[in-house]
Amino acid sequence: MEKEYKAEVVTGGITAPSGFLACGIQAGIKDDSKDLAIIYSESPCTAAGVFTANKVQAAPVQLSRQRIAAGEARAVLVNSGNANACNGPQGLRDAIRTTTALAEALDINENLVLVASTGVIGQNLPVDKILVGISKGVKELSPEGGPDAAEAIMTTDTTPKQIAIKFELGGVPVTIGGMAKGSGMIHPNMATMLGFITTDAAISALLLAKALKTVTEDTFNMITVDGDTSTNDMVLLLANGRAGNELIETEGAEFELFCSALHEVCLSLAKDIAGDGEGATKLLEVKVVNAPTKQDAKRVAKAVTASNLVKAAIFGEDANWGRIICAAGYSGADFDPVKVDIFLGNEQVARDGGAVHFSEERAAEILSHKEIKILIDLKSGSEDATAWGCDLTYDYVKINGSYRS
């Protein structure tokens, strides 16, 4: 990269960038917590999105995918507590009705309103509650509303997930803010969660879309909690240009700087999701190095991170490296098993695909930490990749055994 990238973490989440307002309120979709968020830009935005690869797609995914194709947006309506998925034509009508109401309240074109939902599948959206919530929420839109919005989109999350960073483009201060929700039904294959990112940078819709797609591949698409890709997953990115930097419309140093900053935001949110997996007690990072190809590295990293046996061993603090090499072996990646080295933290537990003497005590101490790092050296090339996940605990079953109740 031609220019050095420096960024400062700031407060505010999605409303940290200039010109963005948000709110998070209780509309009564859920019994006892905030459940409706609105994001609004005071200026026109270029916009981009990435969406779930699940063939079963919720009405909000269908509508937002259609609208964002034009590369423009001004507002996002998000509800938790109801996925508005598998509701047939009624689901789409409900999504349109609620976004039309928000457009009228904000006095903007309804095609500039995107929508996202999360919660239980197969139950009709409580439209009347949402319409009342929109009237209330629009009055509460504020430059300080980011944290409330981050809280309102939560389902089984134990904590809000948000971040904002400030950096420079062409000598002009620029901010990117983001929030996300995700705890269960998390598995790589875009997007694995709901994510909303705002920036006051000036960047063309074409390059905004390219930046989001590129960054997603190494962040949101490299996390897993339980192997389930949801019907509602999406990440939306809005850029209103209020920072006043020179419009980024060609690839080059400024575009690379923007991508670096976007990567930092998305990676932070992705790791927050992985670490907050339902019932999780540990964040797992699996790094694969010296793979023949980038795809091979990703396959191994994802397979090990997603392995229930590996995840259970991490929870039990058992240095069972056999489960790690086993998962690598069925990943579909091309490598020579007799060359593989495996490390838990800085403790080598396997060499050249076989056993090596190591300290069980040191390994157990490493596995007792809240963040666990596994390094897999394939010694078969020069490519690398990293995936993130969590342990598999008793509480995961408890949470998902009683989710609807």
Residue 98's pLDDT is 98
Mean pLDDT of the chain: 92
Please tell me whether the peptide bond between 191 and the residue prior to it is cis, using omega within 30 degrees of 0.
yes
Residue 397's pLDDT is 73
pLDDT band, very low/low/confident/very high, at 394 (cuts 50, 70, 90): confident
Q: Distance between CA atoms of 169 and 253, rounded to whole angstroms?
A: 9
| Residue pair 46/199 in contact by the 8 Å Cβ criterion | no
| Residue pair 45/181 in contact by the 8 Å Cβ criterion | no
Kindly report, residue by residue over 103-119, the tens digit of the pLDDT: 999 999 999 999 999 98
How many other CB atoms are found less than 10 A from the CB of residue 221? 23
Residue 190's pLDDT is 38
Distances (CA, A) of 270 to 64, 161, 171, 222: 21, 9, 29, 8
Structure tokens that stand for 217 in this block: 């591949």
Residue 155's pLDDT is 86
The per-residue DSSP string of 271-307 comes to: HHHHHT-TT---EEEEEEEEESSHHHHHHHHHHHHH-
Kindly report, residue by residue over 12-27, the tens digit of the pLDDT: 999 999 999 999 999 9
Distances (CA, A) of 381 to 79, 339, 401: 46, 11, 43
Q: Which tops the pLDDT comparison, 390 or 132?
A: 132
pLDDT at 405 over 90: no
Q: Which tops the pLDDT comparison, 130 or 282?
A: 130
Torsion sign across C-alpha atoms 314, 317, 319, 320 = negative
How many other CB atoms are found less than 10 A from the CB of residue 312? 15
Burial 29-47 (b: 16+ CB within 10 A, else e): bbeeebbbbbbbbeeebbb
Kindly report, residue by residue over 294-324, the tens digit of the pLDDT: 999 999 999 999 999 999 999 999 999 999 9
pLDDT at 189 over 50: no
Mean pLDDT is lowest, of 1-5, 183-187, 209-213, 387-391, for: 183-187
Structure tokens that stand for 267 in this block: 């990676």
pLDDT band, very low/low/confident/very high, at 248 (cuts 50, 70, 90): very high
> H or E segment at 321?
helix 321-329
Instruction: Please state the rounded mean pLDDT for residues 67-84.
Output: 97
Domains of the chain by start residue, with CATH: 8-275 (3.60.70.12), 283-401 (3.10.20.340)
Instruction: Please state the rounded mean pLDDT for residues 77-84.
Output: 95
| Residue pair 360/272 in contact by the 8 Å Cβ criterion | no
Q: Distance between CA atoms of 222 and 187, rounded to whole angstroms?
A: 8
Residue 276's pLDDT is 79
Structure tokens that stand for 136 in this block: 């209330």
pLDDT band, very low/low/confident/very high, at 32 (cuts 50, 70, 90): confident
Q: Is 85 helix (H, G, I), strand (E, B) or coil?
A: coil
Helices (H), 46-200: 59-68, 88-106, 127-139, 146-152
pLDDT at 203 over 80: yes
Total residues belonging to the chain: 405
| Residue pair 126/28 in contact by the 8 Å Cβ criterion | yes
Q: Distance between CA atoms of 380 and 323, rounded to whole angstroms?
A: 20
pLDDT band, very low/low/confident/very high, at 392 (cuts 50, 70, 90): confident
Could you tell me the maximum CA-CA distance found in the chain, to the nearest angstrom?
Answer: 69
Catalytic residue among 98, 192, 219, 224: 192
Catalytic site residue 192?
Answer: yes
Kindly report, residue by residue over 333-386, the tens digit of the pLDDT: 999 999 999 999 999 999 999 999 999 999 999 999 999 999 999 999 999 999
HSE-CB of 31 using CA atoms within 13 angstroms: 2
Kindly report, residue by residue over 111-170, the tens digit of the pLDDT: 999 999 998 889 999 999 999 999 999 999 999 999 999 999 998 888 999 999 999 999
Q: Distance between CA atoms of 98 and 137, rounded to whole angstroms?
A: 13
Q: Distance between CA atoms of 93 and 89, rounded to whole angstroms?
A: 6
Residue 400's pLDDT is 66
Residue 393's pLDDT is 80
Q: Distance between CA atoms of 248 and 202, rounded to whole angstroms?
A: 6
pLDDT band, very low/low/confident/very high, at 2 (cuts 50, 70, 90): very low
How large a percentage of the chain has pLDDT more than 90? 81
| Residue pair 207/257 in contact by the 8 Å Cβ criterion | no
pLDDT at 100 over 70: yes
Residue 192's pLDDT is 44
pLDDT band, very low/low/confident/very high, at 245 (cuts 50, 70, 90): very high
pLDDT at 403 over 60: no
Structure tokens that stand for 129 in this block: 């509650």
Burial label for 195, CB within 10 Å (0-12, 13-18, 19+), is buried
Q: Distance between CA atoms of 254 and 249, rounded to whole angstroms?
A: 10
Q: Could you give the angle at the alpha carbon of 254 between the alpha carbons of 250 and 255, nearest 5°?
A: 55
